[in-house]
Structure 1
Amino acid sequence: MKFTGIVPALVTPFDARQQIDEQALGNLIESLIDAGVHGLFVLGTNGEFFALSEAEKVRIARLTVEAARGRVPVIAGTGAFATRDVIELNKKMTDVGVQALSVITPFFNAVSQTELINHYSAIGDASPLPIMLYNIPAKTGMSIGIPAVATLSQHPQIKGIKDSAGNFDSLVQMLRYRSDDFAVFAGTDSLIYWNLLAGGDGAVAATANAVPQVVMDIWNRFQAGDHDGARAAQEALRPLRDAFALGTMPSVLKKATDLLNVRVGPCRAPTAELDAQTVHKLEGLLSVYRA
């Protein structure tokens, strides 16, 4: 597959007992495919991968593949600190039928850039599926440096990067290594339009859970040459993104998805649901999407 377009980073729906809600996951997937998305990204940061067991991760990937029914490709997050653990989970994800893998940098214990290159190279060597690098230094405590991107972009199985650092200058530097065989995706939703304008390939967009039509509008208008419309759609994401400060990730996104799209339930503890006062404030911020 080729990494391109708008690929929502799915939240993981839970029921009241904080167990995986299969029906809600199916409803979310249908809403996104109906909106015209180009793929589905599961088990990312907003998908609470850090709160899931390996068995749950494999189950979610399998359910997503089954629900997608080949209409769009499925990218599964498989990151872990240990190289061997990533390789083993990649084998299991390959068996359930995902089309690509996303591997976050090692976390908690920051490694050197040489160790990082060796980590990703070994994972790529062992993978039959294309791999998307995942850079999110605010959560992992380390970043994929530009020289490492330059090196890893040449690996035959590493086909792109999702950059969630939120630094446009760094994203532009990564675009120097973009090619037909290596895609550069914005992982920060405020930079979707700007990444496309700079020559990037698309975005892995968490806000699409709640407002898929707005996110798709950025892409569709940009492709049609309507830059004013694409910028307006990009700006329309601001109220939702500003609301994220109201709670612990991804509690606000999940509640916004409940209110604007389909019900996806609570987060897994210790992340708590929003209290009534905060929900009321959130509803006010989201009222622009109901106009």
Structure 2
Amino acid sequence: MPRAEVLSATPTLFRDDGALDGPANTALLNRLDGRVDGVFVAGTTGEFPALDRAERRELARLALTVFGPDRTIVHVGAASTREAVALTADALAAGATRLAVLTPYYLPVDAEAVRRHFAAVAEAAGDAAVYGYLFPERTGVTLTPAEFAATGLRGGKLSGAAAARFADFRAALPDARLWSGADTDLAAVARAGGAGIVSGLSAAFPDPFLDLAIAVEEGDAEAERAAQARADEVSDVLGGTVAGIKEALRQLGIGTGALRMPASAPAVDRIAAYARRS
């Protein structure tokens, strides 16, 4: 089977005063270059609701400078269609050719409202590829596989409950590119015909996830078990959280660990111990 992709969902790194840290974000991107297949920028792991339009434009620019348009997916999702369309224009101006758009959120919407939202972004995107992003637990919006297929998008990222139904979405969209946001499910995603994973955890420790993708591709069961165990350990140590990912990067000398959005404190000592031996 084709090798599943590992796309890192990059956290947005801030200075201690809360301002965007350009050098730290660039250092993170440079560290990931050659160790993952691409990056997913300004998504959930990137704390996108806490970013302004100029900051999202700058993050897209930094990612495209390091990874180029073929290896960068810029998230342009927003609560309003107007803002999502404006973010789409910004991403295109920065050189993006691959975009992701979260369903609208906060106000309740039906499948037809989501379809119109996605259609407006797709129209603004022109020839750029547009992928939907489903995360029911965060948005309050649930689409069935059939409803998602009816949007006509080229594929999507499935997180939370949507990721748990990956096989159902694959069946409903046999020709689409689908990624799972469940970092440690890479093997199952690959065997279900998915494109790969969009993984926040890989932004801190990419090697176990790429090793797992290679082992699955090569059919090496022993290597797969070993890489899966390492990926599972990363998930356990970091707690699967943005705070854990940022703390790991801080321990590795990248960024301050600061978040803009309130979050539970990570297990600093445990993360530090893991970072020292990684």
Q: Shared topology, TM-score over 0.5?
A: yes
User: 1-side partners of 2:69 and 2:218: how far apart?
Assistant: 23
Does residue 182 of structure 2 align to residue 184 of structure 1? no
Aligned twin of 1:40: 39
Change (3 A) 1:231 1:175: farther
Aligned: 1:101 with 2:99? yes
Q: What's 1:139 paired with? A: 138
**Once the 2 structures are TM-superposed, how far is the Cα of residue 213 of structure 1 from its aligned partner?**
0.8
Residue of structure 2 equivalent to 1:22: 22
* Residues 116 and 253 of structure 1: CA distance in aligned 2, closer, same or farther (over 3 Å): same
Q: Counterpart of 2:148?
A: 149
Aligned partner (choices 231, 244, 250) of residue 252 of structure 1: 244
Paired-residue identity, %: 26
Structure 1 unaligned blocks of 5 or more: none
Aligned residue number for residue 263 of structure 1? 254
Q: Name the structure 2 match of 1:10.
A: 10
* Structure 1 residue 15 displacement after superposition: 1.6
Contact 1:251 1:271 in 2 (8 A): no
TM-score, length of structure 1 as denominator length: 0.86
Question: Counterpart in 1 of 2:50?
Answer: 51
- Residue 210 of structure 2 is matched in structure 1 by 216
SS at match of 1:236: helix
Q: Residue 218 and residue 245 in structure 1: after superposition, are their counterparts in 2 closer, same or farther (change >3 A)?
A: closer
TM-score of the aligned structures, taking structure 2 as reference length: 0.89
Residue number among 182, 198, 202 corresponding to 2:196 in the alignment:
202
Aligned pair partner of 1:173 in 154, 168, 171: 168
Structure 2 counterpart of 1:190, which letter?
T
Change (3 A) 1:228 1:213: same
Aligned residues: 274
Corresponding residue number in structure 2 for 1:90:
88
Quote the residue 1:283 is aligned against: 272
1:120-135 to 2 correspondences below 5 Å: 120-128=118-126, 129-135=128-134
Question: Alignment RMSD, CA only?
Answer: 2.3
**Which amino acid letter does the alignment assign opposite residue 271 of structure 1?**
P
CA pair 174-231 structure 1, distance change in 2 beyond 3 A: farther
Gaps of 5+ in 2: none
Give the partner amino acid of 1:290: R
Q: For residue 100 of structure 1, report the CA deviation from its aligned partner.
A: 0.9
Question: Counterparts of 2:69 and 2:97 in 1: how far apart (Å)?
Answer: 12
Q: Alpha carbons of 1:178 and 1:228: their partners in 2 closer, same or farther (altered >3 Å)?
A: farther
**Structure 2 letter corresponding to 1:188:** A
Give, as a single letter, the amino acid of the residue that structure 2 aligns with 1:197. Answer: R
